[in-house]
Chains A and B, each alone.
Chain A
Amino acid sequence: MATRARVVRMEPPAATGGNALLVLVGLSVVFLLIVALLGVAKSGGSLISESNFLYVALIFYAGAGSLYMGFGVTGTPRYVRYASVATSIGLAANTLAVAHRWYLSGRPPFASVYEMLLSFVWAVAAMTLIAEKKFGVKIIGSITMPLAVVCVILMQLLPSEVRPLVPALQSTWLHVHVTLAMLSYAACALSCALAMMFLIQDNFQTETFLAWTSAMVSAIYVAIVATRFERWGGLSVTGWNAQTKSDIFLGQGMRLFVTVPDLGWLFVIAALAAIAPLFLYFAGRVKNDGSFYGTANKAVFISILLQLVVVAAFVLRVRDAAYPSPDQDGLFPTSLAASPFLLGGMVTGIFASLLYLMLLWRRADLQGLLPSADTLDRVTYKTIGIAFPLLTGMIAAGAYWANRTWGSYWSWDPKETWAAITWLVYAGYLHMRITRGWRGRRAAYFAILGFGVVIFTFLGVTYLLPGLHAYA
């Protein structure tokens, strides 16, 4: 009791009306549920299916995210109460989805990227509720819920059918290894969110947030343009084989790319629009002129609109169409499912920009609602104190399992190596904190960097650096 009394220094401003958002979110949730229900009724399928549960979870997570953000903006305490309820319902639906899949396949959902994301989202939602109840960080959901939504959207695009376990995965160690991995990754996600909250509370300049957000969005779009822009303004995406539900392969590890005409230019424009605020920020820094920042914020707004246009255009053009390929004659079908990471990156960019807008407009309210910087700093450390032993256990279990399957406990496989790098980054954090007394900002940077490495290890390595660890 004592801790909470101190941690939650949250005397929210008197509830000012503030029913609008509740009604809006409530109606959307009900509407989406009815639409889904009608869809199921029409197709005559069973209500009890994993994809339906997951859909319900998605709706409630999205609703919770909106309410958490609404709470951040208006400080209406009712929002956070309903957001918690929505998160709990989402978590319950997510649990049912996991349980149903588990029941059907007779094993925990740990064996593919889809299944791991299913567990990861579950862990993130559960930890959000724990952080809220235990640490009193009420607003954490405004970061973790968008993350959950991005993951569930990503999952809609990934192959989700239940495949039988390949021989190497038939081991108890699979369960130990993946459970530890998902828990530690979720704890890392939480520590990253807490570190960001700390930076807000620590009077980290809004302009610096502007720079980092723009840098991240720019990086996403520049990376897409750099790797996917084709001559004459096309955008290359992976071809999709609808029968086998997989990418089209030319040879071993060589995907067939098709070119969507003119879409490339749109991405170039979006990349430029994302870089503009960054450029203006640096101009403002160099000239020491604050008026640049105002322009930069306007540029962020334009960038968000453009990002929305780009996503819409991408979805419309790439969904179930057919385009020519530079490598082979003929038209090849495309599908959103073939580009989960392009889409994931774009949605992440939009969420990041929206979070920045929330900060820009409602910073004072946010700061009034968050626990003190000191508390946030300590809670970040505590979460990493949970994540690090779990991470160690994950690597150890993986090594022991590898020793029984691959014949060696350590093969310097990319996944192994990056897990070790993640471990070293957090080990560095702990050393700097404990022996060098790193508190506050520098520790927060480290926590955010750490989660960046986690995401790369989790998803980046799987898709960019294939190796022995080919399952996920």
Chain B
Amino acid sequence: MAFSLSFIPKRIHKTFANLRTGIVLLILVVIASAMGTFVLQRPATDADKLAQAYSPNTLRWLDRLMLTNVFHSWWFLTLLGLVSLSIVLVSVDRFPNAWRFYARPYRKTDWHFRAALPHKVELPIKNAEDGLNAAERALKKLGWPVERAAYKNEPSLYSERHRFSVMAVYIVHASLLLIFAGGIIDGAFGYSGFLALHKGQTDNVIELRSGGKKHLPFAVKCYAAGQDNYADGSPKKWWSKLAVVQDGKEIESKEIVVNDPLVYQGLRFYQSSYWLDNRAVDSLQVAWVAKDGKETPLQLKMNQPVALDSDATVSLVDYIPDAFVRDGQVFKKSDDIENPAFGLEVKDRATAEVSKVWLLPAHDIVLGGENLNYQFKNPTSAQDIAWAAVTGLEVSHEPGQWLVWTGVLLMSAGLGVAFYMVHMRLWVVAIPDAKGNLVLWVGGQANKNRDRFEQKFNDVVEGIRSELERESAISRPVREEQPELTLAGVKQ
């Protein structure tokens, strides 16, 4: 046999080519998957929560049995591997027979075959050739393809539809293997990670979900990111304006939203989260007072100098979320937003002299720059401080996904064919009946949906009957074999 896999020991081959083994394996997969949903899984659940849910001893055993990471454990992957092996071997064992059936359809009928066929009718005729011609015309009229065949002096017609449907099972199984293959490729060569970008930031290092970092050959720049809300305040849209930068050149740009990622070189960047970083400031709304008491509002952006008048510029250069003051100096206390401090630099254009001013709105303190011509005022409300927007990008590389999608499409097609395409066959033979009178024997078979086929078969029989009637007036009434298999539409 062309398909024999002789390198696999016979015993193993036999075991895995057995459907029972396949079913046992499927049951094991079901049990293992169910356990994987009932036991909390790493790394989706963090260590604290696991420690809270299970006692240390239980957790140790769960870890040892890899029940805390079922779907990536070697034994689960082995199980899936064995399922694949089983599918392959079952198919290899059965395919040759199916192929023979497919490649060499059973065109000729013999006595045994005719006796066993479920749908059959005998129509009396006078002449074999005329009868077959009439049947051929009737079949063609109903859209059936017709072939002539002869066997032991029994001239006959053969007709079939949708023979391909016998192959559907193999398509479905092959597609399942394709999906598995895609999954394996992604497991082995794919990776996924996370990239958080501040507005204006460019980065090419992603934090892998498996731990560690990965340097990409190109960088991603975030021009802007934001959240749009519905009227009731719930989030409607998260978006980021991204660009791919390689060797200092911007190659591609796109505004991504949830459900619509940026794809570059097989890497996908998904809008995954969005937040405001309390530890960084994007812009600040303050005011300054000139010597003459005139107050001017001032919009400051991080590290972007703004002209105060023709003599000096100011820029926001420092931000400390929680600061304290000692001896006129500002120090950092923590990263929590308790006591924010904003550091400004005022630069004199003529002398290039720089003076530092600190704004501490929580205590309404302005530190430094007392002898400058420009006096600064603290921001008055929380709205004056715009925290830096950060976009959280999920990054994934799944080289096997195209195999998966091919598999999915193939499976849909295969299932459609398997369930809804019926292989129907008809045979018409001119033979003598039990009493020796020449009859046109019409038989048919379908591999599924027998009810529907019965109707079609009746249509065919009616068609042939009327063709025969037109050919020559039939004197005798029609007699049917096996009256208990009453065929609807055929009046008795």
Cβ of A421 and Cβ of B34 under 8 Å apart?
yes
Given A163-B234, A404-B261, A408-B192, answer yes or no on A424-B26 (Cβ-Cβ < 8 Å): yes
B477 within 8 A of A: no
Cβ of A166 and Cβ of B235 under 8 Å apart?
yes
Given A167-B237, A409-B401, A424-B29, answer yes or no on A396-B259 (Cβ-Cβ < 8 Å): no
Q: Which of A74-82, A325-333, A363-371, A426-434 forms part of the interface with chain B? A: A426-434
With both chains docked as a complex, state the minimum distance between the C-beta of A149 and any C-beta of chain B, in angstroms. 30
B122 within 8 A of A: no
B404 within 8 A of A: yes
Q: Name A389's contact: one of B408, B415, B455 (CB within 8 Å).
A: B415
Per the bound structure, the CA–CA distance linking A405 and B260 in Å amounts to 7
Q: Which of A2-10, A258-266, A273-281 forms part of the interface with chain B? A: A2-10
Residues of B within 8 A of A401 (CB): 259
Most buried by A among B19, B37, B412: B37
Residues of A within 8 A of B183 (CB): 410
Interface string of A162-182 (1 = CB under 8 A from B): 011011101100000000000
Given A170-B258, A428-B23, answer yes or no on A465-B37 (Cβ-Cβ < 8 Å): yes
A418 within 8 A of B: yes
Residues of B within 8 A of A428 (CB): 23, 26-27
Residues of A within 8 A of B232 (CB): 164
Residues of B within 8 A of A407 (CB): 192, 261, 268, 270, 272, 394-396
Per the bound structure, the CA–CA distance linking A1 and B489 in Å amounts to 8
A287 within 8 A of B: no
Residues of A within 8 A of B455 (CB): 2-3
A400 within 8 A of B: yes
Cβ of B236 and Cβ of A465 under 8 Å apart?
no
Cβ of A408 and Cβ of B396 under 8 Å apart?
yes
Cβ of A164 and Cβ of B398 under 8 Å apart?
no
Cβ of A389 and Cβ of B396 under 8 Å apart?
no
B1 within 8 A of A: no
Q: Name A392's contact: one of B38, B41, B412, B451 (CB within 8 Å).
A: B412
Residues of A within 8 A of B259 (CB): 167-168, 170-171, 401, 404-405
With both chains docked as a complex, state the minimum distance between the C-beta of A337 and any C-beta of chain B, in angstroms. 21
A412 within 8 A of B: yes
Residues of B within 8 A of A412 (CB): 36, 41, 70-71
Q: Name B412's contact: one of A382, A389, A417 (CB within 8 Å).
A: A389
A420 within 8 A of B: yes
Residues of A within 8 A of B71 (CB): 412, 417
Residues of B within 8 A of A26 (CB): none
A406 within 8 A of B: yes
Per the bound structure, the CA–CA distance linking A318 and B8 in Å amounts to 66
Q: Name A461's contact: one of B22, B37, B238, B408 (CB within 8 Å).
A: B37
Within 8 A of B (CB), among A144-195: 163-164, 166-168, 170-171
A248 within 8 A of B: no
B103 within 8 A of A: no
B419 within 8 A of A: yes
Cβ of A164 and Cβ of B230 under 8 Å apart?
yes
Cβ of B258 and Cβ of A427 under 8 Å apart?
no
Per the bound structure, the CA–CA distance linking A243 and B414 in Å amounts to 52
Given A3-B451, A167-B235, A388-B415, answer yes or no on A405-B488 (Cβ-Cβ < 8 Å): no
With both chains docked as a complex, state the minimum distance between the C-beta of B220 and any C-beta of chain A, in angstroms. 15
With both chains docked as a complex, state the minimum distance between the C-beta of A462 and any C-beta of chain B, in angstroms. 12
**Which residue of chain A is the closest to B487 with respect to CB atoms?**
A2
Given A167-B237, A428-B23, answer yes or no on A389-B401 (Cβ-Cβ < 8 Å): no
Residues of B within 8 A of A392 (CB): 411-412, 415
Cβ of B236 and Cβ of A164 under 8 Å apart?
yes
Given A3-B455, A388-B415, answer yes or no on A399-B33 (Cβ-Cβ < 8 Å): no
B257 within 8 A of A: yes
Q: Name B419's contact: one of A6, A389, A405, A461 (CB within 8 Å).
A: A389
Cβ of A425 and Cβ of B30 under 8 Å apart?
yes
A452 within 8 A of B: no
B405 within 8 A of A: yes
Per the bound structure, the CA–CA distance linking A85 and B318 in Å amounts to 75
With both chains docked as a complex, state the minimum distance between the C-beta of B458 and any C-beta of chain A, in angstroms. 7
Per the bound structure, the CA–CA distance linking A171 and B260 in Å amounts to 9
Residues of A within 8 A of B401 (CB): 403, 409
With both chains docked as a complex, state the minimum distance between the C-beta of B178 and any C-beta of chain A, in angstroms. 13
Within 8 A of B (CB), among A241-259: none
B416 within 8 A of A: yes
Cβ of B415 and Cβ of A431 under 8 Å apart?
no
Per the bound structure, the CA–CA distance linking A2 and B261 in Å amounts to 54
B255 within 8 A of A: no
A435 within 8 A of B: yes
Residues of B within 8 A of A425 (CB): 30
Within 8 A of B (CB), among A432-472: 432, 435-436, 461, 465, 467
Per the bound structure, the CA–CA distance linking A466 and B419 in Å amounts to 35
Residues of A within 8 A of B451 (CB): 2-3, 6
A414 within 8 A of B: yes
A233 within 8 A of B: no
Residues of A within 8 A of B160 (CB): none
With both chains docked as a complex, state the minimum distance between the C-beta of A463 and any C-beta of chain B, in angstroms. 13
Within 8 A of A (CB), among B476-490: 487-489
Q: Name A2's contact: one of B394, B404, B458 (CB within 8 Å).
A: B458
Per the bound structure, the CA–CA distance linking A148 and B3 in Å amounts to 52
Q: What are the 4 closest A-B residue pairs judged by CB atoms, nearest first? A: A2-B488, A167-B258, A407-B394, A412-B71
Other A-B pairs, 7, CB within 8 Å; known A407-B270, A417-B33: A2-B487, A3-B454, A164-B234, A396-B412, A404-B270, A412-B36, A414-B37
9 pairs of residues in contact across A and B, judged by CB atoms under 8 Å: A170-B258, A399-B404, A400-B408, A404-B261, A407-B395, A412-B71, A417-B71, A428-B23, A431-B23
B residues neighboring A (CB under 8 Å):
19, 22-23, 26-27, 29-30, 33-34, 36-38, 41, 44, 70-71, 183, 192, 230, 232, 234-238, 257-261, 268, 270-272, 394-396, 398, 401, 404-405, 408, 411-412, 415-416, 419, 449, 451-452, 454-455, 458, 487-489
